[in-house]
């Protein structure tokens, strides 16, 4: 059993908590985020149908990435051996859930919805997180650090490719990008193991498949 916030969690507690997170993540709407949407007070500029469609595709990719992030963090947390590492994973997952909700809100504003393959993104990421976590917390942290590094590069490309007048999507992505970098830096500071090059390349290939699919589905 593991202590968290002055109570002990049994394996059943952890299983139920994980199932609840999965349902919240893949069953839109995700619910109200804990923090205000960074684009809430920004005035919407007029976008053409083509611009809206492209912005929606990019934000759908970002939403799919946040679904995967929830699975990854929850998978790591489920097998974390150190309470401090588990707490760090849960804290990051909570911030990532806000990202998920913000992307979902923006998709609705763009008259679009999230990827229909959300259950696949979550399940695959959870399995990767749990499998890497079995090797030890430092390897879990290594996967987090490398994932966040790749996510930051991916968000940078979205900031370059979003329609210039889509100031609302841009505000959300900029906030997400800043926090993803913080999560990666925190993982490194906590003792993340650098991943071998073949694993990094495999992660990049997997991300390409997800992004190309989620843009349309």
pLDDT in tens, 89-134: 777 778 888 999 999 999 999 999 999 898 899 888 888 888 877 7
In this predicted structure, which of 86-90, 129-133, 174-178 has the lowest mean pLDDT?
86-90
pLDDT at 5 over 50: no
Whether 74 contacts 129, CB under 8 Å: yes
Domain spans of the chain, in order of start: 48-214
Q: How does 121-152 read in b/e, with b if 16+ C-beta sit within 10 Å?
A: bbbbbbebbbebbeebbebbbbbbbbbbbbbb
3.65.10.10, 1.10.10.10, 2.60.40.1180, 1.20.1260.10: which CATH number matches 48-214? 1.20.1260.10
């Amino acid at each position: 059993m593991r202590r968290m916030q002055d109570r002990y969690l049994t394996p059943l507690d952890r299983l139920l908590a994980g199932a609840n997170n999965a349902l919240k993540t893949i069953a839109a709407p995700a619910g109200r985020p804990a923090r205000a949407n960074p684009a809430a007070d920004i005035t919407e500029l007029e976008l053409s149908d083509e611009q809206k469609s492209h912005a929606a595709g990019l934000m759908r990719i970002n939403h799919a990435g946040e679904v995967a992030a929830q699975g990854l963090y929850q998978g790591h947390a489920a097998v974390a051996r150190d309470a401090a590492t588990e707490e760090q994973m849960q804290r990051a997952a909570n911030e990532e859930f806000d990202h998920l909700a913000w992307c979902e809100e923006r998709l609705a504003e763009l008259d679009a919805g999230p990827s229909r393959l959300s259950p696949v993104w979550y399940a695959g990421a959870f399995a990767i997180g749990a499998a890497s976590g079995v090797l030890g917390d430092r390897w879990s942290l290594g996967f987090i650090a490398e994932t966040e590094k790749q996510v930051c590069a991916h968000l940078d490309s979205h900031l370059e490719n979003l329609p210039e007048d889509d100031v609302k999507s841009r505000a959300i992505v900029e906030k997400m990008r800043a926090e993803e970098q913080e999560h990666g830096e925190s993982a490194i500071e906590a003792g993340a193991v650098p991943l071998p090059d073949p694993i990094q390349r495999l992660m990049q290939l997997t991300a390409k498949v997800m992004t190309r699919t989620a843009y349309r589905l």
